[in-house]
């Protein structure tokens, strides 16, 4: 593919760059010594998302009728690249605008689209993704949160975990089991959950980074009306797959999308003369840079597929594994080269944060082992994992598992 901008793309890039140049002083400072205090971050970031949305720089790939620009993925990448270049934050609600909004666009009713999408895009209502549970992460279809039908509605009981942004979300998309007497993928339904509904309790989990980005969410007999079902009752797995596909694309743009650029690590070392002269340091940095550059070009391949209307394949998984491992190696390298100075909190390199955040990213959006399994099966054509759950009703699975373990 031609990696240069077409004249139209170059003109669009200029337009985005000019807007950011004019407005970047209004962006919240989230990193470094001048960072906003924690209690002001959400409101300031929300206000910034509103400005980006009004300028057409949030949800640019959403259809125009729902507030987007109807652009293809290349314009979205141009926006992300220019935001990174201007060194300002992107939107606050990456999960809502990047993954849950597109799910509602694909599966929601017209009422749901007109009620929820506008406030989501403008950051007025932030959304969270309530999929994972204490005993169902990689095996997402094994969730145990139950939704029981009653007159004109549903009652939800169960627990979710690792729910990013639940502490300030207005709504969530929640996956629940509505029928335990069919195989596990078939008895699921997706709902909109108002986070202030009676019976919803959010409890924060503080990470080793010091931040508390994600939460446990407890659901105690929460009442939901019928119009909160997204897609069809019993088709929650199909709806969830749409979210997961957008999640893969959001994460899969690799080092660029996540901000792990090779220059960032090279700059951290460049100021230390002894480290720059050290052949071992230079070799390690060269290796890491090669990996991250390979991710960049893989993501261009993915972009090219998306632009042609194809669904990206396992490249997204490969990009994610490579980005996370190369970035962990880069943080280790900077720490080896600079010693404790690498982790000083008062620098704007954010290395301390990344060093402690990256191990978690190994799990987020699909663990390395699960992605490697997918790549093994779908790319290399290796035999699939043995499965005990095919065709067996969810309610009988535990007994079958016990039976198999006893054999």
Note whether 138 binds ligand FAD by CB under 6 A.
yes
Which of residues 79 and 166 has its CB atom nearest to ligand FAD in the complex? Answer: 166
Pick the catalytic residue: 82, 125, 247, 256?
247
CB count within 10 Å of CB 162 equals 21
Quick one: tokens of 232?
């069809």
Q: What is the nearest approach in angstroms of ligand FAD to the Cβ of residue 128?
A: 6
Q: What is the nearest approach in angstroms of ligand FAD to the Cβ of residue 386?
A: 10
Q: How far apart are CA 355 and CA 74, in angstroms?
A: 31
Distance of CA 9 to the CA centre of its chain: 26
**322, 363, 374, 395: residue in contact with ligand FAD (rule CB under 6 A):** 363
Task: Report the candidate in 117, 104, 118 with the shortest Cα–Cα distance to residue 191.
Answer: 104
Q: How far apart are CA 380 and CA 383, in angstroms?
A: 9
199 neighbors 130 (Cβ within 8 angstroms): no
Which of residues 74 and 228 has its CB atom nearest to ligand FAD in the complex? Answer: 228
Which of residues 2 and 385 has its CB atom nearest to ligand FAD in the complex? Answer: 385
Number of chain residues interacting with ligand FAD (CB under 6 A): 19
For residue 247, indicate whether it is catalytic.
yes
Residues in Cβ contact with 45 at an 8 Å cutoff, skipping those fewer than 6 apart:
28, 30, 89, 92, 123
Note whether 244 binds ligand FAD by CB under 6 A.
no
151 neighbors 140 (Cβ within 8 angstroms): no
Helix or strand (DSSP H, E) at 216: strand 214-225
Note whether 131 binds ligand FAD by CB under 6 A.
yes
**369, 379, 382, 404: residue in contact with ligand FAD (rule CB under 6 A):** 369
Which of residues 55 and 361 has its CB atom nearest to ligand FAD in the complex? Answer: 361
Per CB under 6 A, contacts with ligand FAD among 198-237 are: 214
Note whether 259 binds ligand FAD by CB under 6 A.
no
- Distinct helix (H) and strand (E) counts, the chain: 15, 8
List residues with catalytic annotation.
247
Judged by the rule CB under 6 A, the positions of this chain that interact with ligand FAD are: 95, 128-129, 131-132, 137-138, 162-164, 214, 360, 363-364, 367, 369-370, 373, 385
């Amino acid at each position: 593919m031609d990696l240069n901008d077409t004249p139209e793309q170059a003109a669009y890039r200029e337009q985005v760059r000019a807007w950011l140049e004019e407005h970047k002083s209004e962006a919240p400072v989230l990193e470094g010594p001048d960072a906003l205090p924690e209690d002001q971050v959400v409101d300031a970031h929300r206000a910034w998302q509103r400005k980006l949305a009004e300028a057409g720089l949030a949800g640019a790939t959403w259809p125009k009728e729902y507030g987007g620009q109807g652009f293809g993925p290349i314009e979205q990448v141009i926006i992300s690249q220019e935001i990174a270049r201007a060194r300002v934050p992107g939107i606050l609600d990456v999960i809502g605008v990047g993954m849950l909004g597109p799910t509602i666009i694909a599966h929601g009713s017209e009422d749901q689209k007109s009620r929820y999408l506008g406030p989501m895009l403008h950051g007025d209502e932030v959304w969270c993704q309530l999929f994972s549970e204490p005993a169902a992460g990689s095996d997402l279809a094994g969730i145990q949160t139950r939704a029981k039908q009653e007159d004109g509605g549903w009652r939800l009981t169960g627990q979710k975990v690792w729910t990013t942004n639940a502490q300030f979300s207005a709504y969530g998309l929640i996956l629940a089991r509505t029928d335990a007497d069919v195989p596990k993928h078939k008895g699921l339904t997706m709902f909109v959950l108002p986070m202030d509904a009676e019976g919803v309790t959010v409890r924060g989990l503080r990470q080793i980074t010091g931040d508390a980005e994600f939460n446990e969410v407890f659901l105690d007999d929460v009442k939901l009306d019928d119009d909160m079902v997204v897609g069809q009752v019993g088709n929650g797995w199909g709806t969830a797959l749409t979210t997961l596909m957008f999640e893969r694309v959001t994460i899969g743009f690799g080092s660029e999308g996540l901000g792990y650029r090779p220059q960032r690590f090279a700059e951290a070392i460049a100021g230390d003369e002894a480290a720059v002269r050290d052949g071992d340091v230079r070799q390690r940095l060269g290796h890491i840079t090669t990996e991250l550059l390979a991710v960049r070009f893989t993501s261009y391949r993915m972009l090219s597929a998306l632009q042609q209307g194809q669904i990206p394949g396992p490249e997204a998984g490969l990009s994610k594994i490579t980005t996370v491992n190369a970035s962990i190696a880069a943080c280790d390298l900077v720490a080896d080269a600079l010693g404790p100075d690498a982790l000083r909190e008062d620098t704007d390199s954010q290395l301390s944060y990344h060093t402690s955040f990256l191990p978690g990213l190994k799990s987020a959006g699909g663990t390395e082992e699960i992605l490697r399994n997918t790549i093994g099966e779908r790319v290399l054509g290796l035999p699939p994992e043995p499965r005990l759950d095919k065709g067996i009703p969810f309610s009988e699975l535990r007994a079958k598992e016990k039976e198999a373990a006893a054999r």
